[in-house]
Amino acid sequence: MDVGDIVTFPSPQDGTPTIKRVVAAGGQRVAIRDAELVVDEQVVDEPYFDHASIDGVYFGPVTVPVGTVFVIGDHRETSIDSRAYGPIRTADIEGRLVLRIGSICQS
């Protein structure tokens, strides 16, 4: 898995199929500072995300264990993700987005 990949896996909470974006891999340090994603002390450019939707939110920092990835939903203000259930074992990832034909989202 690579940082930026969109992956599917069973939810650690109830086993339902889940889709999230990988934002950090094993050994990296991840945090959210006033809505900005920070990995290894570098702010990550996220043009697909509305930072104003979670302005004032902080998380971490945490170090991602080797053999796992840290996943976050693009709709961060309502997403239940690694901030709630921790990193996902790479062995538990069932799929990865390889081609996007279009988008149902409108600007």
Q: Report the range of poorest mean pLDDT among 19-23, 61-65, 92-96.
A: 92-96
pLDDT tens-digit map of 6-59: 999 999 989 999 999 999 999 999 999 888 899 999 999 887 777 677 767 788
Radius of gyration of the chain (CA): 13
Sequence-ordered list of residues with C-beta below 8 angstroms from that of 101, at least 6 positions apart, any chain: none
Domains in the chain and their CATH numbers?
Answer: 6-96 (2.10.109.10)
pLDDT at 107 over 50: no
pLDDT at 91 over 50: yes
Beta carbons within 10 angstroms of residue 77's beta carbon: 13
pLDDT at 71 over 90: yes
| Per-residue b or e along 28-53, where b marks 16 or more CB atoms closer than 10 Å to that residue's CB | bebbbeebbbbbeeeebebeebeeee
Whether the predicted model's global pTM rises above the 0.75 cut = yes
